[in-house]
Amino acid sequence: MTARPLSRSAIFAQAWPIILGQTTVPLVGLADTVVIGRTGDAAALAGVALGTTVINFLFWTFGFLRMGMTGMTAQAQGADDEDEVRAMLIRGLVLGLAIGSALFVLQWLLIPAAFALLAGGEAIDASAKGYVAARFWGAPASLAVFAINGWLLGLGRTRAALVLQIVMNLINVVLDILFVWKLDMGAAGVGLGTALAEWSALVTGLVIAARVLGPGMARSIGERRKELFTRPALRRLFAVNANIMIRTVALLMMFAWFANAGARLGTVPLAANQVMMQFVSVSAFVLDGFAFTAESRIGGAIGRGSRDDYLRAIRLTGEFTLAAGLLFAGLFFTCGDAVIDMVTNNEAVRDQASALLPLTALVPLIGAPAWLFDGIFIGATRGASLRNAALVSTCAYILTDLALRPAGAQGVWIALLAGYGYRALALGCYLPALTRSIAQADRGA
Give the predicted TM-score (pTM) of the model: 0.73
Residue (of 60, 254, 78, 54) closest to 134 by Cα position: 54
Amino acid making up residue 40? G
DSSP of 333-399: HHHHHHHHHHH---HHHHHHHHHHHHHHHTHHHHHHHHHHHHHHHHHTT-HHHHHHHHHHHHHHHHH
Residue 378 lies in a domain: yes
pLDDT of residue 391: 96
Specify if 430 maps to a domain. Answer: yes
Residue 434 within a domain? yes
Residue 3, domain member (yes or no): no
Inside any domain, residue 1: no
DSSP state of 157: -
Q: Note the pLDDT of residue 216.
A: 59
H-helix segments, 61-138 = 64-78, 82-105, 107-116, 122-135
Confirm whether 86 is domain-assigned.
yes
DSSP state of 136: G
What's the total number of domains in the chain? 1
Tell me what pLDDT residue 403 has.
96
Q: Centre a 10 Å sphere on the Cβ of residue 345 and count the other Cβ atoms it contains.
A: 12
pLDDT beneath 70: ranges in the chain: 1-5, 21-34, 36-44, 46, 117-125, 215-229, 233, 439-445
Q: Could you give the CA distance from residue 30 to residue 343 in angstroms, rounded to a whole number?
A: 8
Q: Which domain holds residue 220?
A: 8-444
Answer yes or no: is 332 within a domain: yes
Residue 191's pLDDT is 86
Model pLDDT, residue 142: 92
Rounded (10°) angle between helices 122-135 and 107-116: 150
Listed residue (52, 30, 109, 24) closest to 262, CA to CA:
52
Tell me, rounded to whole angstroms, the distance of Cα 4 from its chain centroid. Answer: 25
> Would you tell me the crossing angle of helices 267-304 and 347-361 to the nearest 10 degrees?
30
Q: Is residue 2 part of a domain?
A: no
Cα–Cα distance list, 107 to 57, 66, 100, 101, 146 (Å) = 13, 22, 11, 10, 20
* Exposure string over 222-259, b if 16+ CB within 10 A, otherwise e: eeeeeebeeeeeeeebeebbebbbbbbbbbbbbbbbbb
Measured from the Cβ of residue 116, the count of other Cβ atoms closer than 10 Å reads: 7
From first CA to last CA, the distance across the chain in angstroms is 22
Q: What per-residue confidence (pLDDT) applies to 1? A: 44
At residue 445, the pLDDT reads 44
Note the pLDDT of residue 415. Answer: 96
